[in-house]
Structure 1
């Protein structure tokens, strides 16, 4: 396998496009904003996608933009974090929760590519499970262990999941947004699928 990604600290036009896209970026420190943007620029520049809008959320016969899914997850996760604070007395550090929400699907541009009206798996999809490549990139960029481990294990088919409360919030925010995407794509939402 060749390297699945290259860290891209340049690409000023890509950096601006990523900054313009991401919900919640303004809720973290400037240093963390820069690392989050670098992570997404690196995934995008290492993929086959020319535009952010072309990145698919999932393979299938329909298309749903990854950009929209990421922002839906982030907004839902912020709402859930606020609900947990009000109901459970649990406070979340935005410099931990927000990067998890914003970066949870960082490797999808490398795992899926557009084909016709839908999307298909790339060869890399068959080499490493979803979450792992994103976590590798986040580790290389110096993100906190909680961010790295939660991204690495968040996929519904992961052999185990993080036990931290941020993983709990991500899980439900991600499934909520994923079911919306599957409905739009004409696919069966996760909550209606039999295992």
Structure 2
């Protein structure tokens, strides 16, 4: 396997496109914003996708843009974080929760490619599980362990999941938004699937 990604610190048109896209980026300190943008730019520049809009959320016969899913997860996660604070007295620091929400699918541009009207798996998808490649990238960019470990273990098929409250919030925000994406793609939502 060649390197799955290269870190791209360059100041270019991709950085501005990522900044313009991401919901919640303005709610974290500038230095953290830069690392979040660098993570997304690195995944994008290392992928086959020319535009952010071309990145698929999931393989299948339909197409749903990853950029829409990421913002839906972030908005839902922020709302759930507020509920956790109001109902449980559990405050989730935005400098931890927001990077987890915004970056949870940072490796998907490397795992899926457009084909026809839908998307298919790349070769990398069969080498490392979803979440792990994103966690590798985030570790290299010096994100806190809780961010790295939560991204690494968030996939529904991961062998185990984080026990921290941020992982709990991400799980439900992600499934909520994923089911909307699957419905939009004409596929069965996760909650109706039988394993």
Q: TM-score range by the shorter chain?
A: over 0.9
2:164 matched residue in structure 1: 164
Task: Report the Cα distance in structure 2 between the residues aligned to 1:170 and 1:146, rounded to whole angstroms.
Answer: 12
> Partner of 1:50: helix, strand, or coil?
coil
| RMSD after superposition | 0.4
- Residues 123-145 of structure 1 show CA distances to partners (whole Å, capped at 9, x for unaligned) of 00000000000000000000000
- Residues 62-98 of structure 1 show CA distances to partners (whole Å, capped at 9, x for unaligned) of 0000000000000000000000100000001000000
Task: Report the Cα distance in structure 2 between the residues aligned to 1:92 and 1:170, rounded to whole angstroms.
Answer: 12
**Does 2:3 match 1:3?**
yes
1:142 matched residue in structure 2: 142
1:154 matched residue in structure 2: 154
> What's the TM-score once normalised by structure 2's chain length?
1.00
1:39 matched residue in structure 2: 39
Task: Report the Cα distance in structure 2 between the residues aligned to 1:134 and 1:7, rounded to whole angstroms.
Answer: 12
> Partner of 1:173: helix, strand, or coil?
helix
Deviation at 1:12, TM superposition (A): 1.3
Contact persistence 1:111–1:124 (CA under 8 A): yes
> Partner of 1:167: helix, strand, or coil?
helix
- Residues 104-158 of structure 1 show CA distances to partners (whole Å, capped at 9, x for unaligned) of 0000000000000000000000000000000000000000000000000000000
1:48 matched residue in structure 2: 48
User: Gaps (5+ residues) in structure 1?
Assistant: none
Tell me which stretches of 4 or more aligned residues in structure 1 moved more than 6 Å.
none
> Partner of 1:8: helix, strand, or coil?
coil
2:61 matched residue in structure 1: 61
Task: Report the Cα distance in structure 1 between the residues aligned to 2:43 and 2:108, rounded to whole angstroms.
Answer: 8
2:78 matched residue in structure 1: 78
> Partner of 2:113: helix, strand, or coil?
strand
Contact persistence 1:178–1:189 (CA under 8 A): yes
2:124 matched residue in structure 1: 124
Deviation at 1:11, TM superposition (A): 4.5
1:112 matched residue in structure 2: 112
Contact persistence 1:11–1:41 (CA under 8 A): no
**Number of paired residues?**
195
User: Gaps (5+ residues) in structure 2?
Assistant: none
